[in-house]
Amino acid sequence: MLSHAAGPTDTPLIEETIGATFARTAAAHPDREALVEVATGRRWTWAELDAAVDDLARALIAIGIAPGDRVGIWAPNCAEWTVTQFATAKVGAVLVTINPAYRTHEFVYAVNLSGLRLLVSAESFKTSDYRAMITDAHRDCPALERVVYLETDWFALLDEGRSLPPNAVSERMADLSPDDPINIQYTSGTTGFPKGATLSHRNIINNGFFVTETIKFTYEDRLCIPVPFYHCFGMVMANLGCITHGSTMVIPAPSFDPGITLQTVQDEKCTAVYGVPTMFIAMLNHPDFASFDLSSLRTGIMAGAPCPVEVMKRCVSDMHMAEVAIAYGMTETSPVSTQTHVDDDLDRRTTTIGRVAPHLDIKIVDPVTGETLPREVPGEFCTRGYSVMQGYWNDPVKTAEAIDTEGWMHTGDLAVMREDGYCTIVGRIKDMVIRGGENVYPREIEEFLYTHPSIEDVQVIGVPDEKYGEELCAWVRLRPGAEPLDAAEIRAFATGKLAHYKIPRYVKIVEEFPMTVTGKVRKAEMREVSSAELGLG
């Protein structure tokens, strides 16, 4: 059997704009809680949130924001971020989400590539002085007409829309189409400049809906959202997932804090929590973990990076997340392409990335020939359907490299489709290590090393080697209080359990890995550091 699968189509796609879905949910659940911001104690019912969104939408219309204009947001998670997301959707502006970790050079690039007219920004956060960076960069951003700072300008902006009639927003919404572009998300840019994935209403409203539909969301669910809004995980899988089901969005903090997240789950009686694996590891290893009452939890999603089996098992047993799901995808696919189901057995929910999502096709192909491979054979994961982006903003060349003439998005991920249709990710094409002619997939070795009692987290990379072409190097983070490990001890642990060519030659003990803000490990940077430290060129 070939590695090709099509998702179910019994539940129809949503064929309306984000604003229309939001208004419909607000009308259906006006008095239920829609949004909670823990840091400030602010709360909104759906009726109150709808009014707040319309206030900003009217202001955007009043200052001349037209459908298709780009409006940026540069801020950590906060209620105003969510309001801006839905207000721009209602007026048809393209929301450009800017990574809170960007510095001036990256900011200028993002603003100019997308042609921002308006920027909504925080004054500062942690070590980032956004106002100073914007002041410094403004002369290099000719299209940027106005900056609204959340702390000082927000209410003045809202006042500018007071004179517009109440129906100004609904009239604007009537002219919008589900296929209009509504969001530009910059890919994490682990190599080179980030690219602007352009997503439509149809792309992301449906992905948010089916992701949460698969974990059985209803209007009674309360989702704790510690993942960043500027990325698909936060704004699509979380926010849009909630508005399609009337579920409550709970913002625990401006950025991830394991203790605050656990406290929020307890205090707000959250039924679900999202996170990348490193977030769940941090929560599970919090010194006061046992003191939190997490019994309200039912489900959640772990995504954004390969999910260690042992971590998933602890989420099920220790965090009460019996229906937790694994989801896999990328920004360019809105983002989710495969997902496990709440009734999957523990094997499928701990060792795979699930099966194809509704209304999508997936296949595993030979990276060189493009031929669809037999099941159980590793190759490149490709996907096609409603979720595939419209393209990279103003970059037709890169778009054509990623999406072929038949509409297949080539992800660059190496995967295996099992006989039952479930898939596993075995690495990135660029991360695969070729040692002495043997293809080695770091994920397999990482999963094995997670079983060592002293290892909390591990990442395996390839480094240059004169004899074999490449050798394996493991970066290891130890559990608190664990005895130090060295390469000889890890080799002894693996001997007889892994083939000799899969046993790391080098081991580096670290406190943390170089990461993108979305929780992806920068393996390219790790290779550079290791090669330099080991004198391997």
Could you read off the pLDDT of 277-294 as tens digits, one per residue? 889 989 999 999 999 999
- Tell me which of 295-299, 492-496, 497-501 is least confident: 497-501
DSSP 396: H
Pick the closest to residue 368 from 434, 429, 441 (CA basis): 429
Q: Is the per-residue pLDDT at 306 higher than 70?
A: no
- Residues pairing with 385 in the sheet: 360
Q: Is the per-residue pLDDT at 518 higher than 70?
A: no
In this prediction, residue 192 carries a pLDDT of 56
Q: What percent of the chain has pLDDT over 70?
A: 98
Q: Is the per-residue pLDDT at 188 higher than 80?
A: no
Long-range Cβ contacts of 500-504 (<8 Å, 24+ apart): 501/435, 501/436, 501/438, 501/440, 502/440, 502/444, 502/445, 502/472, 503/472, 504/445, 504/460, 504/472, 504/473, 504/474
CA distance 54 to 86: 9
- Tell me which of 26-30, 89-93, 446-450, 505-509 is least confident: 446-450
In this prediction, residue 435 carries a pLDDT of 85
Domains of the chain: 431-533 (3.30.300.30)
Over residues 192-201, the pLDDT tens digits come to: 568 999 999 9
Q: Is the per-residue pLDDT at 191 higher than 50?
A: no
Q: What's the burial of 95, exposed, middle or buried (CB within 10 Å: 0-12/13-18/19+)?
A: buried
Element of type H or E holding 51:
helix 46-62
Q: What is the pTM of this model?
A: 0.86
Q: How confident is the model at residue 466 (pLDDT cuts 50, 70, 90)?
A: confident
CA distance 349 to 342: 8
In this prediction, residue 462 carries a pLDDT of 93
In this prediction, residue 166 carries a pLDDT of 87
Q: In angstroms, how far is CA 131 from the centroid of its own chain?
A: 26
Report helix, strand or coil for 197. Answer: strand
Q: Is the per-residue pLDDT at 438 higher than 80?
A: no
Q: Is the per-residue pLDDT at 190 higher than 50?
A: no
Over residues 463-478, the mean pLDDT reads 90
In this prediction, residue 116 carries a pLDDT of 97
Over residues 269-283, the mean pLDDT reads 94
In this prediction, residue 187 carries a pLDDT of 83
Task: Supply the Cα-derived Rg of the chain in whole angstroms.
Answer: 23
Pick the closest to residue 26 from 108, 99, 83 (CA basis): 83
Query: Which one is predicted more confidently, 58 or 446?
Result: 58
